[in-house]
Amino acid sequence: MRIGELSERTGTPRRLLRYYEEQGLIVADRLPNGYRVYDGSNVDRVLQIRGLLDAGLPTRIIKQILPCLNKPRIIHFPDATPEMLATLEDERDRMTERIRCLTRNRDAVAEYLAAVRETPAPSV
Amino acid sequence: MRIGELSERTGTPRRLLRYYEEQGLIVADRLPNGYRVYDGSNVDRVLQIRGLLDAGLPTRIIKQILPCLNKPRIIHFPDATPEMLATLEDERDRMTERIRCLTRNRDAVAEYLAAVRETPAPSV
DNA sequence: CTTGACCCTCACACCAATGTGAGGGTTCGA
DNA sequence: TCGAACCCTCACATTGGTGTGAGGGTCAAG
């Protein structure tokens, strides 16, 4: 598929698909005329990228952790340098912290909403 | 306490404390000379704000959900307009989605790290 | 051959969060 | 009274993720 279809299938502006490529998050083959071509696996990949971005991770980090998540079972160890492993451990912990914080606050919001909903409309 | 102490106690640059105030996330009393003064509750508040920011929420949204989370039990309903409630429900769902995404990826990273660690160092 | 729907690169612009520093007050101890 | 260590406002700069558009190819259908 070309960029337009990938854009539609992922709900992502073309601009951003090009940006992700520029940042090294995805790769695209090229047709002889220069058009980018993608296969189905790119859909999932882009959705994952968007999820991570939305979750607050910068592309720099996403680029580092993506290789670890590609084929769930075919973990193909890159030149896992100690620094990279440290970065990953660090990021894993940051994610855990983020999850905790988000959960706490999400629950609080949910509780609030539940409380409001239980209250008869305060007619002025 | 004044801004310097709050900064130290929260690990947050003064610049940002002023910024959060400008964005309406925190309020500060003023001494006669114009200095900001804070009490202990502001420490937790700032930490919460930082957590939410780090989790990817913009100040605009944080400002909306903070009032719901102040005193866990003393839910003091603001003029909960229907739009605001809708925003909150929306944000709650987005947070849930974020949590799912983060968790999934965090687990994948953790798994990868565990796998790497189990492998004897590939001595070139 | 032309039109319309694609695609390309390049580049400027925006916004939110944050850095940084200039220019200038206050307070307090040496 | 001087200097250090605070504080203030103002304002420009930077970064990352985006929006947007100009200027220009490609290609299939009419």
Query: Beta carbon of B5 within 7 Å of strand D?
Result: yes
pLDDT of residue B89 exceeding 80, the answer is: yes
For residue B54, the chain A residues in CB contact (below 8 A) are 56, 94, 97-98, 101
What mean pLDDT is predicted for residues B6-34? 95
Return the CATH fold of B1-72: Multidrug-efflux Transporter Regulator; Chain: A; Domain 2 (1.10.1660)
Count CB neighbours of B58 within 10 A. 10
Residue spans of the domains in chain A: they are 1-70, 79-124
Cβ of B108 and A55 within 8 Å? no
The average pLDDT across A5-12 equals 95
Q: Which residues of B touch A98 (CB under 8 A)?
A: 51, 54-56, 102
What pLDDT sits at residue A87? Answer: 81
**What's the rounded Cα separation, in Å, for the pair B54 and B11?**
14
Among the ranges given (A94-98, B25-29, B64-68, B72-76), the one the predictor scored with the smallest mean pLDDT: B72-76
Average pLDDT (A26-46) is: 95
Task: Taking residues A10-16, report their average pLDDT.
Answer: 96
CATH topology of domain A1-70: Multidrug-efflux Transporter Regulator; Chain: A; Domain 2 (1.10.1660)
Q: What are phi and psi of B21, to 5 degrees?
A: -65, -45
> Is residue A124 predicted with pLDDT exceeding 60?
no
Q: Is the CB of A120 under 7 A from strand D?
A: no
Statement: the CB of A81 is under 7 Å from strand D: no
3-state secondary structure chain A: CCHHHHHHHHCCCHHHHHHHHHCCCCCCEECCCCCEECCCHHHHHHHHHHHHHHCCCCHHHHHHHHHHHCCCCCCCCCCCCHHHHHHHHHHHHHHHHHHHHHHHHHHHHHHHHHHHHHCCCCCC
Residue range A52-69: mean pLDDT, rounded: 84
Chain A residue closest in CA terms to B77: A116
